[in-house]
Structure 1
Amino acid sequence: MTEDNTITRRRYLQASGAIGAVTLAGCAEDETADGGELEIVHWWTAGGEEEALNALLDGFQEEHSDVEINNNPAPGGAGAAIDAEIQTRVLDQDPPSTFQIWPGEALRPYTDADALEPVDDLWEDEAHDAYLDGVVDAASPEGDIVSVPINIHRLNNVFYNVEVLDDAGIDVDAIESPGDLLDAFETADEAGYVGLAQQTQQPWGTLQLWEVVFTGQHGVDAFQQFLDGEAADLEDEINESLSLVADYSEYFNEDAGTVAWDEANADVITGDAAFHHNGDWAAGEYQGADDFEYGEQWDYAPFPGTEGVYTLVMDSFVMPTNNPSPDATEAFISYCSTIDAQERFNPRKGSIPPRTDVPTDEFPPFLQTQMDDFKGSDTQITSIAHGSGLKPDLASQVEEAFAVFTDNWNPDETTQELVEIF
């Protein structure tokens, strides 16, 4: 990802010839689209992600058999490759019908360029009441709803090996703060286990850990203040959380700098590590392991201090302006807002639906628990590490600061870097 990948309004209008917005026809009221080709650009190319997309497209085509699907993946970089491709195509007046994107600030380069159509009229009527405010806010960074969220992963989890904690004498219920969690890592280490299975090879892992530590220590309002650019007023809080993450690093696996997140997570499955922090996609590794049952061999808790908070990692679809297939795109956007679409997609993806009225029957027990936590959450917030919390150019600079931090573990230096970024 380049340092500044924002499409300017001027550049977009020059490239597009100031073509007017496509008029939305309210396809949510129609049962069929008018045919045509629907080009979908995404990065879901492997495993459960690919199965989830295929299930979504199968359901759509059951209702709209006259639409031809052009499934056009752009894998690589968890969004970086797709972002570069889409921005180029928007400027070249050749957008796809729709593309996968994180809601929140990742949308802003496109909304700043007037490159997305409002889609609130395309949501199924019942969907508006079934989405929590935090989700709607992320889908509408500048007022108009411009994306339809299709799934939610929760970021503020801490997973653990039940037998390891029992052997080390760690009581999860007694861990009430991020500082208490450090004590648990030390106890696990003394018992011969890795405290926290972690990867530091890529900076997003440390960045997302700092996000949840900061929220757990200082609360949602302070974290939102940071997202709003008020880092200079939060120097002490930022430094305190960075210092705790640096202390955590003493209890990482020795190969943290050379392994991917799933390789680190495997230490929890093998019983070599006590804890792992990640989004709930980590649970897919546990569910796929032999003789490793939820509630018996593994379990999870909200990251200490973030009970009642649901840190959102979402995917959504949008309707680009100058759309090559407006009828088919409207039909697809509308379908993505339905219970049927979200019930097909999410169990396979290992995520939960953004709609709170989707039946739980098709979901495994862990995801049912996550669905209950989501419905009962007091606050939903977005993540920097996963594209929604900050504009892409700022998020890239923050990630670069954390790349340095994972090399030197210097809280003072990184605090000043974060303040200067804003």
Structure 2
Amino acid sequence: MTRGDILSRRRYLQATGAAGIAALAGCSDEAADEDQLEVVHWWTAGGEEEAFEALMDGFEEEYPDYEPNPNPAPGGAGTAIDTAIQTRVLDEDPPSTFQIWPGEALRTYTDADALAPVGDHWEDDAHDAYLDSVVEASSPEGDVVAVPINIHRLNNVFYNVEVLDDVGIDPEEIESPEDLLDAFEAADDAGYVGLAQQTQEAWGILQLWEVVFTGQHGVDAFQRFLDGEAADLEEEIHESLSLVEEYSEYFNEDASTVSWDEANAGVITGDTAFHHNGDWAAGEYQAADDDEDFAYGEQWDYMPFPGTEDVYTMVMDSFVMPTNNPSPDATEAFMEYCSTVDAQERFNPLKGSIPPRTDVPTDEFPPFLQDQMDDFEASAEQITSISHGSGLEPGLSNEVEEEFAVFTDNWDPDETTQDLINIF
């Protein structure tokens, strides 16, 4: 599929208009006051809600003349935002700003010239404090159109320390994705679940395949896949899918009916050895430590996914400034504030993520996130993810995810390899 095959503005509005407008009806009227900042976001639960509130508090302190007007859309990871925001923005009735993944997820808007450049509205020293890879993800067409507010790391493997000790697994000896399969088998033989996993939503297996592929074949090969060279990577794609299919033999038996956090609970209870996920999974362990003795480095720990030790697979959130903006001064002020140390220091410890700025003090961050910050600064490569919206244009990303939904049903590497090649 080429970019021209993605829904045009007219076709998109015809396909999504009624449902999209209904999802966030009336929001533009509330934001009509130019001093009001309508912020559409999906952070509506637990620590992420607290993080958003801390961000808004900081903005109000810095810019008391502007009034935040949060407009949450529950649903998780943008499921309730996608069609509604695209309809409003492309129909020239946008909110002041909205939450979005940087990278290819921005293409729908940049292709329609629906986002204003915001690079000049970053704090003066912010550009020097961001890694080039983060700035590039914010600039899919050259102009900086997004302000990243946080970074999660996707290529983690978490584990229960006591389980691995009982089984006799040394995580430092797990050097490849194939070694990890051997560890799953050893845990299974000892009566534990090898890998906590959910398969009811396709993104879980898609992100697992992404890190397996990168661990086996490297960042350059994964970037070639993102660039559309799937046909030239047939052997590599098949090899990684085959290994994921072997991994599936060691999933929890209820993988198809539980959410990721329900599966992850097995690591906390000591029934499961490993769990692969973004660093948001650590929030579950830290919450458990509040109620019982489940301390980082003692009862739970992590390692980079084998083969990706020098890689930081980034899952980022950002804010953008739509054109035809109802409150341009307030939005420009918010863009600048989100790029500051103060904003990122308030937001990220509560969100369970690290700041995109590399000069944010670490004092307020828990030890796990301090380690993630060190890993980020030391990483040789920073790459984006298909499963979390930044790696491929939305149309292609949706097709790839649909293929992984089929894969979790048939576990057929041959068929899935050919289907992935056909998508491109």
**Normalising TM by the smaller chain, what interval?**
over 0.9
Which aligned pairs between 1:259-408 and structure 2 lie closer than 5 A? Answer: 259-289=258-288, 290-408=292-410
Specify the alignment match of 1:214 in structure 2: 213
2:103 is matched with: 104
Percent identical: 81
Shift of 1:81: 1.7
Q: Which residue of 1 aligns with 2:24?
A: none
Instruction: State the partner residue of 2:42.
Output: 43
Query: After alignment, is 91-100 or 275-284 more displaced?
Result: 91-100
Residues 270 and 331 of structure 1: is their aligned pair in 2 closer, same or farther, counting only changes over 3 Å?
same
Q: Give 1:413's match in structure 2, choosing from 402, 412, 415.
A: 415
How far, CA to CA, are the matches of 2:407 and 2:320 in structure 1? 35
Q: Which residue of 1 aligns with 2:26?
A: none
Equivalent residue number for residue 155 of structure 2: 156
Once residues 255 and 38 of structure 2 are traced to their aligned partners in structure 1, the CA distance between those partners, rounded to angstroms, is 39
- Residues 172 and 329 of structure 1: CA distance in aligned 2, closer, same or farther (over 3 Å): same
Deviation (angstroms), 1:93: 1.9
Divergent runs of 4+, >3 A: 4-13
Q: Is the 8 A contact 2:311 2:382 kept in 1?
A: yes
CA offsets 1:287-342 (integer angstroms, 9 cap, x no match): 00021000000000000000110000000000000000000000000000000000
Counterpart in the other structure of 2:129: 130
CA distance, structure 1, for counterparts of residue 56 and residue 190 of structure 2: 49
Residue 192 of structure 1 deviates from its aligned partner by 0.7
Residue 223 in structure 1 maps to residue 222 in structure 2: yes
2:8 is matched with 8
Amino acid across the alignment from 1:387: G
TM-score by length of 1: 0.93
Unaligned segments of structure 2, at least 5 residues: 14-32
Report how many residues are paired.
400
One-letter code of the match for 1:39?
E
- CA shift for structure 1 position 92: 2.8
Cα deviation for residue 142 of structure 1 reads 1.1
Distance 2:196 2:285 in 1: 14
Match of 2:238 in 1: 239
**Structure 2 letter corresponding to 1:219:** G
Residues 137-184 of structure 1 deviation map (CA, whole Å, 9 limit, x = unaligned): 111111111000000000000000000000000010000000000000
Residues 124/362 of structure 1: CA separation in 2 closer, same or farther (3 Å cut)? same
Query: Normalising to structure 2: TM-score of the pair?
Result: 0.92
Cα gap change, 1:7 to 1:40, in 2 (>3 Å): farther
Which one-letter code corresponds to 1:315 in the other structure?
D
> Match of 1:160, as an amino acid?
Y
- Aligned residue number for residue 141 of structure 1: 140
**1:29 counterpart residue number:** none
In structure 2, distance between residues paired with 1:7 and 1:206: 26
Q: Is the 8 A contact 1:42 1:100 kept in 2?
A: yes
State the distance in 2 between where 1:211 and 1:35 align.
43
Asked if the contact 1:147–1:316 (Cα under 8 Å) also holds between the matched residues in 2, the reply is yes
Unaligned stretches of 5+ in structure 1? 14-33
Residue 178 of structure 2 corresponds to 179
Cα 1:218/1:117, change in 2 over 3 Å: same
1:24 aligned residue: none
**Aligned partners of 1:309 and 1:80: how far apart in 2?**
28
What is the CA distance between 1:77 and its match in structure 2?
4.5
Computed over aligned residues only, the root mean square deviation of the Cα atoms, in angstroms, reads 1.7
| 1:74 Cα deviation after fit | 1.3
Q: Displacement, 1:78?
A: 1.6
Residue 19 of structure 2 aligns with which residue?
none
Deviation at 1:11, TM superposition (A): 7.5
Q: 2:263 aligns to what SS in structure 1?
A: helix
CA distance in 2, matches of 1:11, 1:232: 30
CA apart distance, 1:413:
0.3
What is residue 23 of structure 1 aligned with on the other side? none
Contact preservation (8 Å) 1:36, 1:328: yes
Residue in 2 that maps onto 1:81: 80
* Distance apart, 1:80 and its partner CA: 2.5
CA contact (8 A) 1:309 1:378 kept: yes
Which amino acid in 2 is paired with 1:268?
A: V
Counterpart amino acid of 1:104? G
Taking the aligned partners of 2:333 and 2:67, their CA distance within structure 1 comes to 12
- Aligned-pair CA distance for 1:9: 5.9
* Alignment match, 1:170: 169
Displacement after TM superposition at 1:269 (Å):
0.3
Whole-angstrom distance in 2 between the partners of 1:275 and 1:49: 24
- Indicate if the aligned counterparts of 2:90 and 2:109 stay in contact, CA closer than 8 A: no
2:105–2:393 contact (8 Å) kept in structure 1: yes
- Following superposition, the deviation at residue 133 of structure 1 comes to 1.3
Q: Residues 39-66 of structure 1, C-alpha deviation per residue, up to 9 Å, x if partnerless?
A: 0000001100110000000000001111
